[in-house]
Structure formats: structure tokens, C-alpha cells
Chain A
Amino acid sequence: MFYRLPEFNYYRPATLKEALYLLSELEDVKILAGGTDLLIDLRIRRYRPKNIIDISRLKELKYIIDEGDKVRIGSLTTLQELIESPIIRSKAPLLAEAAYNMSSWQIRNIATIGGNLCNASPAADTAPPLMIYEAKLKLKSIEGERIVPITKFFRGPRKTELRSNEILTEIEIPYIRDVGSSFIKLGRRDAFTLSIVAIATAVNVRDGKFADVRISLNAVAPTPVRAYTAENYLKGKNVTIDEIKKAAELVLKDISPISDVRASAEYRKEMSVILTIDSIVRSLDRLGIKVEGWEL
């Protein structure tokens, strides 16, 4: 290793407003939120920006606010703050579960939820939970703000809806009641690892039938995805292992995994099916519903 970082101009605005003005005036900029992805990308020369705007100290973007039917999270909230927040644990438990299994304590203390989303890795672990909750992202520029649903935010590996003069400032999570949910991450080992595939599910059951079903996976397509085909199949069906297995096969219609250093495409496909079954059965279990014929 011993790679020096390339040279750049460093700016640390004191307010969000100042940051937005700087961003609109400077060219060739990268935003530093926590920096845990950016510093590596600089080191390997994936990016060589002329300017870096460090927003990591903007306290106005660090908050978790419970508004009853929704939770608002400032984009500079760290992964560790998500894990430790009673609000997140009770109202967006999938997000706390996902953050708990991300990287290491040292990284979680500085890596931010906004950084994880804007870096737009196909394997971003905060994405599947937010796709399940259908979170809304607030993007701000000097011209104003706009809201983009997370399901429309990712455009491809490291590509997002974010315009060059915009900063992601807030993640708004609608509170969904009466669902059982589960997050499962498969890596090459249990601790401090990147996802081969991770899955989040949430289900709601009425009169023995699936009322609402949401399934989201990462690392098996150019962006984190919702498995709408499988979801739609399962809605209205009886809660049986056979129906869950049929739905899990349909997940393959919504994913397009590649082979890389972590796993082959074939393995990812097989594990996506198995983990879908696991995660739905576990979500049901959390609603107190036992499914015959599948061992967790």
C-alpha cells in the first residue's frame, strides 16, 4: 500500500448554507461526509477531485427525530448512532439491524447513513431497510429542495439521482405498524465484511393471508432492488411454506447478479432464493406466526 492521497483543495464550511453555495460555485468536487469510502477511493485513484468539501462537522445534519408517524434522520448521523438510537430500534428496526452488521466499530463511529447512500455501492447495507420502509430522501441545493423516494434514488453502481449542486440532507422514514421484519446479511464471514447478498423483508398478515409483503436485496443487481414480482405474487396468498418458496423463486426475475471477488453469480442467485425464504419465515416468526416445513 503506502499510497499517498492525491492533492486537493480542502474546504470545511461552517453551515449547510455555506456548503451549498460552495458546491454550486466550485467545479470537480467530492463531498466528504464520514470519509470512510472516499479516502479509499482517493487512495486507489477512483476519484481525483480538485476540491473536497468536508461537511462532517455540520451539526445541523446530525439528528434523529421521532414525529410519531415518521422518523427523520439527518444525513450525517453515524451508523453507530443509528444502532444506539431507541427511536431507530423501535420504529425502523431493520435499519438498526443492518447498521449493526456493517464494517467495524471504528468505521461505524464516523461513517454516515448519507454517505452510505450517496456512495451508491450496489452492496450498501442501509439501502434494503430503507427500500422496505420506502424512505424519502431530501436533496438540497441553493435553488431549493426536492424529495426523491429511495426506490428512485439509485441509478447504477455509484450513480444516483443527486445533481452536482445537491447535498442529501435528510432521510425520512414512514413508520409502518403491525409488520414482522427481518434483515439477513450473507458475507464471507460474520464480522466486518461486505455483503455477498443481504436481504430485508417485512410482512403483514390478515386472516391467514399475506396482506403486505416487501422484499429488498442488495449486491445482486447494479443497485439495491425491491423484488416486486415476488411481492405481488405473495399478496393475498395463504401463509404456507409452498407459497413462500414459489415467491422466493420469483425473486430471480428482479435480480441480475454478477460474479466478483466475493461470490459467483450462480451462488448469489441460489442464496437470494434461500435467504428470501429464511427472511420471510423469520419475519412471520416475529409476528408470532410459525410456518411448518422450514427450519430457520
Chain B
Amino acid sequence: MKVSFILNGKYVSVDVKSNEILLDVLRHKLGIKSIKRGCERGECGACTVLLNGKPVYSCMLLAVQVDGQEITTVEGLENELRPLIKAFAEVGAIQCGYCTPGILLTAYALLKNSSDELTESDVKKALEGNLCRCTGYKKIIEAVLQARKYYKKA
């Protein structure tokens, strides 16, 4: 069946089977390679995308479910993510990088939607569904808090 939705600000239309998950359609049919297949059971966060601005797992959605909705990945947020990427690089919050696109999206959604005060525990809570297999959590949390300052300046 045909599914159409907004992907990173562009209208896309693609043929899918009812049992195809969004993760596979994005990676294999629409060329979105930033999202990663991790656990495929809604636990690791490597496949995180934004659905209408909110972080969700693309392995836990059928592709047909996003018909008519808006999906965003890091490919569509190049400028918006710049302060976060800068902070991640400065702090050294990247090791193997497998979890990074998912974490950037979740952190971006957090920073975009939170009020002025943002504590370390807020960041931990927001990122509880994104695992880092290198276990580099301390620096990731530090980087998100650092990015907060850059967004405020901008």
C-alpha cells in the first residue's frame, strides 16, 4: 500500500507492506541511514525519530501508521542541531557513534520543549530510553547541559 508523509520537510510517498516497520522503510527505501537498528524491541533508542516533534522508536511503529504525519531525523535538522553537535564534540560525548543520532534527536526535543531550568536529572530522565553501548553517559549528559547554554545565547 501507498504511504505518504512529511520526511525532513519534504513530502514523500512510498510503497510499503502492512507488516513493515518504519525503521526499515526509512533505512532501506528512503535512504535515511542515521537511524540505527539496535535492539528492535523498543529498548535501546538507536532508531529514535521525531514523530510530529516528539521522540519515538521507529522500530515500534508500522510504516503505515505514519501516513500523513511528520517524521524528522538528524538529516533534516542540520542547522538546528549545530549547538548540540558542537557541545558533543567539545565535551567528547561521542565514542563509537552508534547511539549518537538517536540521542541528538531526543536531546533536541528536550531542549526545544523545556523551560529555563534544566537539571542533570531532567536530562537523565529524558534520555532514559537511549542506551549508549560504550556507556559514555557522563559526557553525554554534560554535553546536553552545555548545549543548553549555546541555544540560550542564540
Binding site for B on A (CB under 8 A): 1-10, 12, 32, 35-36, 39-40, 42-43, 52, 54, 56, 80, 103-107, 109-110, 191-192
Contact = CB atoms under 8 A, between A and B. Distances in A.
A39 B21 contact: yes
Contacts of A5: 19-21, 62
A167 B89 CA distance: 50
Interface string B41-77: 1110100100100111101111011010000000000
B126 interface: yes
Contacts, number: 88
A7 B17 contact: yes
A1 B41 contact: yes
B20 to A, nearest CB: 8
A22 to B, nearest CB: 15
B90 interface: no
Interface string B33-44: 000010111110
A36 B17 CA distance: 19
Nearest to A103: B129
A110 B19 contact: no
A106 B65 contact: no
B106 interface: yes
B55 A54 contact: no
B63 to A, nearest CB: 10
Contacts of A3: 40
Nearest to A189: B128
Given A56-B65, A107-B60, A110-B60, A7 B39 contact: no
Contacts of A35: 60-62, 65
A39 B65 CA distance: 12
Given A7-B17, A35-B65, A43-B41, A104 B60 contact: no
Given A106-B45, A109-B51, A7 B19 contact: yes
A107 B129 contact: yes
B95 interface: no
30 contacts: A1-B39, A2-B37, A4-B19, A5-B62, A7-B18, A8-B18, A9-B18, A10-B62, A10-B64, A12-B64, A12-B67, A32-B65, A35-B60, A39-B60, A39-B61, A43-B41, A54-B62, A103-B42, A104-B129, A105-B55, A105-B106, A106-B45, A106-B48, A106-B55, A106-B60, A107-B129, A109-B54, A109-B56, A110-B61, A191-B128
B51 A6 contact: no
A12 B62 CA distance: 12
A6 B129 contact: no
Contacts of B64: 10, 12, 54
Contacts of A4: 19
A36 B40 contact: no
B124 interface: yes
Contacts of A54: 62, 64-65
A110 B40 contact: no
